[in-house]
Structures are given as structure tokens and as C-alpha cells.
Structure 1
Amino acid sequence: MKTIKAPDYNPVKPTYVLPPNACDAHCHIFGPEAEFPFAATSTYKPADAPKAMLRSLHAHIGITRAVLVQASCHGTDNRAMLDAIADSNDTYRGVAMVDGTVTDEELRELHAGGVRGVRFNFVRHLGGAPDLDTFFGIVNRIKDLGWHVVLHLDSADILTYSSLLDAIPVPFIIDHMGRAKVADGVEQAPFQSLLALMRNNPRAWVKISGSERISAAGAPFRDAIPFAAQLIAAAPDRVLWGTDFPHPNITGDMPNDGELVNLFAEMCPDEALRHQILVDNPDRLYWRS
């Protein structure tokens, strides 16, 4: 198990002031390991990033609400995430990781605990697609709960999985702008496939997060702005934004979360659209069910 970089513990104060009820729609809780051990199957060991750290960061940069996304270092043990949600005074929601053994009762318990979706990895170098019978079995069971599914999926594989995406009966979210490679430009076929998906499938959502994962230029990752801007233009009512704090498995420049807020403001200069992405869209997906 490799030890990965810790986040930047000194976020700047953003110059862009986020609106009330702004939501960080993609962030993580790690540990503390002494209370919530990391999974034996995890390929990496992060520094502790407990709920108090996330709450302090959000207070500093102006975020009111958050969606906690279960990461592979905790596997299907969602306890750290559920503990943070329970302590949030209804300002947190969660996206869980589950496997084929999960029962309907356990899904209902997750719902009562603030979970509103499940996440699956399709990225090749992280193990590739899950068992598709298990995938659709779970997706069909969460439909009645009003949940959605989050897909960690490279835009290069959108055409490969086009039939699968068309068959998903619930809203689904593509993480991190489909991990499109900025160096290949906005006209590249994988990114154009993502744009077409957003324009043509009303169940498709996307997160304009992870600029540090797709950037070719490094911090402050401004080369990702045209990609985010085109995704916003394609489907402004189905776009979410998130920090991805504490930024697991970053190999390049570690982002500063205050600077990421300013980067979002550059991605979306229109204040009405900013409010839609930061407040209205996450409210509709996470707080109305």
C-alpha cells in the first residue's frame, strides 16, 4: 500500500465569494484511521482527513454544504462518511460504495443516513469496469430510493460504454470532466463524445471538478477552463462542481482549495449560472429526496 501526498493545509482565502448554500459536490472524508481503518484492499494510504478538517476548510473558503463521495481507501465500509453526515446538521449528503452483497435493508439504512447515490469505477488503470450484472442489479434496486449513480469513467471510453450508459435507468454523473486530457484540446474525440452525451441524454450529469487531474500546464490549472465552459454550455442544469479535497492520488501539483474556488469563477463568469451549479443543481439532486 503506497502512501500518497497530503493536501495543501494552507488554502488561500478566495477572492470570489461563494453564494449562500454553495455545495462542494465532490469531496472525501478519510479516517481518522484509528477510528475508521482503511480497507485492506486499498492500493493507497492517505493522510487522515477527518470531518473536522473538511468542516474547517469549507468554513474558510465559503462552502455551506457538501457531498461526501466514498473513496476506495475505505472500500465498502461507509462508516466514516455516515458519521460525518450525521454530524453535519443536514448540510452533508453522501455517495456510497456497495457491492452485490448489500441488502435492501442496508440500502434503506444508507438512505436514512443521508446517502443519495452509489459510485462505480470504470477507469482502466484502476481495475476497469465492475461486473455488469452486479452493476445493473444494484442500479435497478436504487431506483425506487430516488438515487443516482456516479461513474468514475474516462471520456475515452464513453463510446465503448455507450449502450451501457443508454441503459442506465437513473440519473448518472461522470466524475472530473470525464478525465479528458487537456493537452489533446477541446476538439479531441473523447471530449466531444462527453459533450454529445451531455447534450443528448437527459439523465447524464457531469462534475467540473478534477482540473488538477486533466491539466497539462499545472497549477493553477487554468488550461482546464475551456473544457468546463463547454460542459456548462452543453447542459447547465446538469453540472456540479467540487473540490475533490483532499485530492487523493495526485501525482502533479497539489491544488490549493481556495484557488480552486477562484478557478470555478473563471470557468463560469455568469453569476446566475454560478448559482445554478453551486446551489440549485445539487439541491435538486441531493436535498429533495
Structure 2
Amino acid sequence: MKTVPPPLDKPTAPTFRLPPLTCDCHVHVYGPTNRFPFAPERPYTSQDAPVERLEALHRLLGVERVVVVQATVHGLDNSAMLDAVARDAQRRRGVALLPPGTPIAELERLHRAGVRGVRFNFVRHLGGAPDLSAVQSLAQAIAPLGWHLQLHLDAQDLLSYRAFLDTLPVPFVIDHMGRTLVEDGPEQPALAQLLELLKNPRAWVKLSGPERISACLSRGSFPYADVLPHAQRLMAAAPDRVVWGTDWPHPNVREMPDDGWLVDLLPHYGGPQALHQLLVDNPTRLYWYD
């Protein structure tokens, strides 16, 4: 089984000051495994990355709200995610991994616990696409709660599943800028499809994972600078349907990023009003609507 490296012990303090109520809309917690064991069928393994380390990171970065996304290492047991959310129920929300046919009573219980979405992994290294009828069925079930779907896709999946995405009855969030690699160029079909998809008023995109799509990685004095045109085009296409996240503790990345660098990218994405939408207003609409 593949072992992924841990996040940096001492990330850099960012120079950019985040606005009040900034939300990190994509983090995971791992363990601690003596309380929350990893799933035996997990596609990778890691060291513990518990909520206490996440809280220390957010104090350093100036993040006040967070969305904890169920980690693949924990499978369908959402206990670690729910525990992290419960520690500050006013400022935290969760996104769950759920099996097909989850009863309405369980969805309502998770809603009371702070869950506001369900994630589906389509990427090949995490097992490939789920059954589309199950995705559609669960989307129908969560619609009355106001939840959304969060979709982790490979870039080529944006082409393969476009027609399906347009049938979804609830908002859906595309993770990590659609994993559209910078090296494939600004006119690549996947990025064009993602920009076209954002004409759908239910489509959102997460400006996370620049280290996943950068061609230059952290070389030079300005890490991930080549990602800026991607992010700027996505923000311009749907300024009211973009959110941001660090993706801490950064599973399955090509290099481990410094979270302070990720914050310092933000003022290059847009001006103060656009950043307030990205970091505060849009997350409030998506996760704190009730």
C-alpha cells in the first residue's frame, strides 16, 4: 500500500492577511488512529494528521472557518470528520463520504451534525468512477436538505461526464480546479470544458491544489506562479461560485506545499472584492445557508 508523506512541520507564516471569516473549504483530518482507525480497504496510508494540528495551522494562517472533507483513508466511517466539526459547530462544516441508499434519517442526523455535502471520487488512483445512478439517487435524496455534491475528477473526466453533470439536481463543486494541468496549455480541452461547465448555475469550482496542476512547482521565488492564469479565468467565469481551500494535509501530491505559500498566492488571484467573495461570501452561501 502506498504511504503518503506528512504535511510540513513548520509552514511559513503568510505575508497576506486573510479577511475575517475566511473559510478554508477543503481540509482533511487523519486519525488519531487510536481513536479513529483507518479503513482496511484504503487506497493509501499516512501518519496521523489530527484536528489539533489543523487548528494550529489555521491560527498561523489566519483562517477562521473550515470545511472538513471526509478523508479517503477513513472510508465511509465519518467519525473523525464529525468529531472535528463538532469541536466548533458554529464555524465548521463537513462533507461526507456515504454509501448508496443512505437512509433519510441518517442524512438528517448528519445535517444536524454540520454536514452540508457528499463527496464522490472519480479519480483513478482512488478507485475510479462511482456508479452514476447511485450518484444521481443520492443527489435526489440530499436536495431537500440544501446540500451539494463535491466531485473529485481527473481532467479528462470533465469531457467524459459533462452531459451527466448537467443532469444533477443540486449544486456540485469541482475539486482542485478540475486537475487541469498547466503544462497542457491554456487552450486545453479540459479547461475549456470546465469554463463552459461554469455557465451552469449549479456548477462551482474549488481553487485548491495549485501544487497538483503547476508545471514549475515550487521552483523560483514565486511558487506556483504559472497557476495564476487558470485561477483568474475560473474566478472571472463564475465569481459567485468559486471557493478556496488548502487541501491540508495534502494527500497524493507531487511535492508537499508550504501552506503559507498557498495563502500568499491569493492576492494575485484578484482584488479585495473578488477575494472577499472567494474566501467569505461564497462559502457562507454554500455551507452556512441555514
Match of 2:165 in 1: 165
Match of 1:267 in 2: 269
Match of 1:286 in 2: 287
Q: Does 1:114 align with 2:114?
A: yes
Match of 1:3 in 2: 3
Number of aligned positions between the proteins: 286
Give the deviation of 1:54 after TM superposition: 0.6
CA distance in structure 2 between the partners assigned to 1:195 and 1:81 by the alignment? 31
Give the deviation of 1:126 after TM superposition: 2.7
Does the residue aligned with 1:243 lie in a helix, a strand or coil?
coil
Match of 1:13 in 2: 13
Given that 2:101 and 2:138 are in contact with CA atoms closer than 8 Å, whether structure 1 keeps it comes out as no
Please, which runs of 5 or more residues in structure 2 have no aligned partner?
none
Give the deviation of 1:2 after TM superposition: 2.1
Given that 1:149 and 1:170 are in contact with CA atoms closer than 8 Å, whether structure 2 keeps it comes out as yes
CA distance in structure 2 between the partners assigned to 1:43 and 1:154 by the alignment? 16
Please, which runs of 5 or more residues in structure 1 have no aligned partner?
none
Match of 1:228 in 2: 231
Match of 2:204 in 1: 205
Does the residue aligned with 1:155 lie in a helix, a strand or coil?
coil
Q: Percent identity?
A: 54
Match of 1:53 in 2: 53
Match of 1:248 in 2: 251
Note the alpha carbon deviations across 1:146-205, whole angstroms, 9 max, x for none.
Answer: 00000001232222112211100000000000000110111111101101111x200000
CA distance in structure 1 between the partners assigned to 2:125 and 2:85 by the alignment? 31
Does the residue aligned with 2:166 lie in a helix, a strand or coil?
helix
TM-score (norm 2): 0.96
CA distance in structure 2 between the partners assigned to 1:105 and 1:143 by the alignment? 14
Question: What is the CA RMSD across the aligned residues, in angstroms?
Answer: 1.0
Give the deviation of 1:253 after TM superposition: 2.1
Give the deviation of 1:101 after TM superposition: 4.2
Given that 1:209 and 1:244 are in contact with CA atoms closer than 8 Å, whether structure 2 keeps it comes out as yes
Match of 1:178 in 2: 178
Does the residue aligned with 1:18 lie in a helix, a strand or coil?
coil
TM-score (norm 1): 0.97
Mean Cα displacement is larger for which, 99-108 or 235-244? 99-108
Mean Cα displacement is larger for which, 53-62 or 159-168? 159-168
Give the deviation of 1:127 after TM superposition: 2.2
CA distance in structure 2 between the partners assigned to 1:157 and 1:105 by the alignment? 32
Match of 1:83 in 2: 83
